[in-house]
Chains A and B, each alone.
Chain A
Amino acid sequence: MSGRIFNIYRFSSPATFYPLAGKIARIAAWIALLLLAVGLYMSFFVAPTDYKQGEGYRIIFIHVPAAWMSMFIYLVMAFWAGIGLVFNTRLSSMMAQALAPTGAIMTFIALWTGAFWGKPMWGAWWVWDARLTSELILFFLYIGFIALQGAIDDNRRADRAGAVLLLVGVVNIPIIYFSVKWWNTLHQGASVSIKNGSSMSTIMLQAMLVMTFAFWAYSIAVSLYRVRSIILEREKDARWVSELPEVGR
């Protein structure tokens, strides 16, 4: 793919994307810190006590953002992996690889906080309900992708195998999202939806949205910082890498 088609392709080259990723990661990290500070303050000091769940409901301010991110990161990963599979672009596969650990962590946070919320409210750490089970499958998809990438030495083959796994697993995302509608689950239905708007109080919703953007910025910062290492690892023989100022001689 040469530069004459579209200027955007310029950034599909690892050499030009590497410094850009560094810049975006730095900005995103600052945004994440700021939003986390504001979001945590709102979660604990601004949002009122819930009339039914008392203070216990405050878990929502990390549970929902993490759950949203776990699904969203997977979709972005599958998108990049698909692009990598079709156009054979190295960088998109590297992006998919860089997002995987962060996605797995978000999924783990969603499951963990869910358990710590389920115990006081439902009386059980875990139930095999459709929402929880499909989210657990998502966690295994992330772990499976990471393991598969690690098990294949040839990068190109690892990318292709990983992409196929991710694309097949995409079917799980709508299952997670609509599980509370399709099945009679113990997990409550969506409090926030595109069609019905929000059933939460405005201040709670605002706190949750700030936390969501904070998690968003965090994920961008961490995965772009990680992709820089992946680029260096894979391009270590390239001339531009050896000429980087951070590579000591």
Chain B
Amino acid sequence: MKALSEFFYMGGYALYVWGSFGVTALLMIVEPIMVHQRRKSVLQRISRLVRIKSEQKS
């Protein structure tokens, strides 16, 4: 337990080290999620487009 709290204490630099790694981790998690959402919405839009086109043909 002591080792763990010591680890998070970072020799007194906790705010700076975790402030850096935390924000970096957050961005590197959020970016892929946003990219994935974009793909989902693009595929949805195109699927609708294709559906409308095929309905017009028939």
A interface residue numbers (CB < 8 A to B): 44, 49, 54-56, 58-59, 62-63, 66, 101-102, 105, 108-109, 112-113, 116-117, 119-120, 218, 221-222, 225-226, 228-229, 232-233, 236, 241-242, 246-249
Contact A222 B31 (CB under 8 A): yes
* B32 and A117 contact, CB distance less than 8 A: no
Q: What 0/1 readout, one digit per residue, does chain B (1-26) give for beta carbons within 8 Å of chain A? A: 00000010011110111011101100
Q: How far in angstroms is the closest Cβ of chain B from A148?
A: 19
Given the interface pairs A112-B20, A116-B16, the reply to whether A229 lies near B42 with Cβ below 8 Å is yes
Number of interface residues of B (CB under 8 A): 31
Q: Is the CB of B21 within 8 A of A247?
A: no
Report B23-49 residues with CB < 8 Å from chain A CB: 23-24, 27-28, 31-32, 35-36, 38-39, 42-43, 45-47, 49
Q: Could you list which residues of chain B lie within 8 angstroms of chain A, going by C-beta atoms?
A: 7, 10-13, 15-17, 19-21, 23-24, 27-28, 31-32, 35-36, 38-39, 42-43, 45-47, 49-51, 53-54
Nearest Cβ in chain B — how far from A207, in angstroms? 13
User: Please, which residue of chain A has its CB at the minimum distance from the CB of B37?
Assistant: A229
B11 touches A120 (CB 8 A): no
Q: Are B24 and A56 in contact (CB under 8 A)?
A: no
Indicate if the CB atoms of A222 and B32 lie closer than 8 Å: yes
Contact of B31 with A55 in the complex, beta carbons under 8 Å? no
- List, in ascending order, chain B residues with CB within 8 A of A228's CB: 39
Q: Do B20 and A116 have beta carbons less than 8 Å apart?
A: yes
The answer to whether A242 and B31 have CB atoms under 8 Å apart is: no
Q: Are B46 and A247 within 8 A (Cβ)?
A: yes
Residues of A within 8 A of B13 (CB): 54-56, 58, 120
Q: Are A58 and B31 in contact (CB under 8 A)?
A: no
Q: Give the distance in Å from the alpha carbon of A116 to the alpha carbon of B17 in the complex.
A: 7
- Indicate if the CB atoms of B42 and A233 lie closer than 8 Å: yes
- A56 / chain B contacts, CB cutoff of 8 Å: 10-13, 16-17
Inter-chain CA distance A54–B17, complex, in Å, is 11
A-B contact sample (15 more), CB < 8 A, given A62-B21, A109-B27: A55-B10, A55-B13, A58-B17, A63-B20, A102-B31, A105-B31, A108-B27, A116-B19, A116-B20, A120-B13, A221-B32, A225-B36, A236-B45, A236-B49, A242-B46
Please, how many angstroms separate the alpha-carbon atoms of A225 and B38 in the complex? 10
Residues of B within 8 A of A221 (CB): 32
